[in-house]
Amino acid sequence: MATYQDLKGKRVFITGASSGIGAGMAKALAEQGAKLVLHYCKNSLGIKNTLKIVKTIGADATILQGDFRDYASLGELFNQAWLEFNGLDALVNNAGVVTKSTALRDIEGLAFSETLAVNLQAPYRLSTLFAKACIDAGQPGVVINNSSIHGQQTCEWFSAYAASKAGLDAMMKVMAVEWGKHGIRVNNLAPGVVPVERTFDILNQPKMEQKWVKTIPMGRYGSVEEMGQATAFMLSEASAWMTGSTLTIDGGLIARGGYPIRED
């Protein structure tokens, strides 16, 4: 595990930290000595478990609850997060929903709208609040958005999800350009196939694993621990000149595209 000494004592707000990649991010940053504000929506048992893990590691951490579908509440949520440790050094927009539905099953666009509200509008609101707070405080800052390979290349059933992630990728670039002069870096992490609590069993079924793994050049799934380590790197001074970029970690899945597999 790489160590980033500059992350020790850094105040980081992680959304969607009750399970999956968000919990992996929290653990990795706790191991670096960061102070953590951990957000959750409904999974109270999950966030308590994440809190227990990071506190066992020795991190100073607290939790906040909020529903990102309630756009009007995001200002108060951010203010609470900012005040927990008398300011924040970084924001990790991890919370999101994975919507799988054909467009024709969502003709009125209800699922589409809700997906964009959680995956795109909420990160926009929180990021702008964070940037303004940093500028007012005269300090630098870092924003990391958890995007997806679906923002770059997608498939059936993902019109809402892919649109939200592609929008997140575009939004990140604009924010990086606008805020660079203030010392605020903005980047995206784009994970590939990473089993989490809700997908672990199905992805590890022999038939499903064979179907997926053969398309991944590295020959395996990713892990939440690896996504956490990538986040630590992106928040650290090791990536000090990195902004406006998407770090794709997918075992080479996007690189090989959807072409037939050629045997040696």
Q: What residues contact 151, with CB distance under 8 A and at least 6 apart?
A: 162, 165, 166, 167, 168, 169, 188, 190, 246
pLDDT of residue 264 exceeding 80: no
CATH 3.40.50.720 fits 5-247, yes or no: yes
Question: What are the structural domain ranges in the chain?
Answer: 5-247
The Cα 78–Cα 207 span in angstroms is: 43
Q: Which pLDDT score, from 0 to 100, does residue 261 have?
A: 81
| Structure tokens belonging to residue 240 | 């000090």
Mean pLDDT, range 87-102, rounded to an integer: 96
192 or 103, which is more confident: 192
134 or 212, which is more confident: 134
Mean pLDDT, range 168-191, rounded to an integer: 98
State pLDDT tens for residues 234-260.
Answer: 999 999 999 999 999 999 999 998 877
At which residue do the structure tokens 């499903």 appear? 208
State pLDDT tens for residues 6-46.
Answer: 999 999 999 999 999 999 999 999 999 999 999 999 999 99
221 annotated active-site: no
Q: Which pLDDT score, from 0 to 100, does residue 52 have?
A: 98
State pLDDT tens for residues 37-62.
Answer: 999 999 999 999 999 999 999 999 99
Q: Which pLDDT score, from 0 to 100, does residue 125 have?
A: 98
Burial (CB count <10 Å: 0-12, 13-18, 19+), residue 226? middle
Q: Which of 4, 161, 221, 259 is catalytic?
A: 161
Is the Cβ–Cβ distance between 81 and 39 less than 8 Å? yes
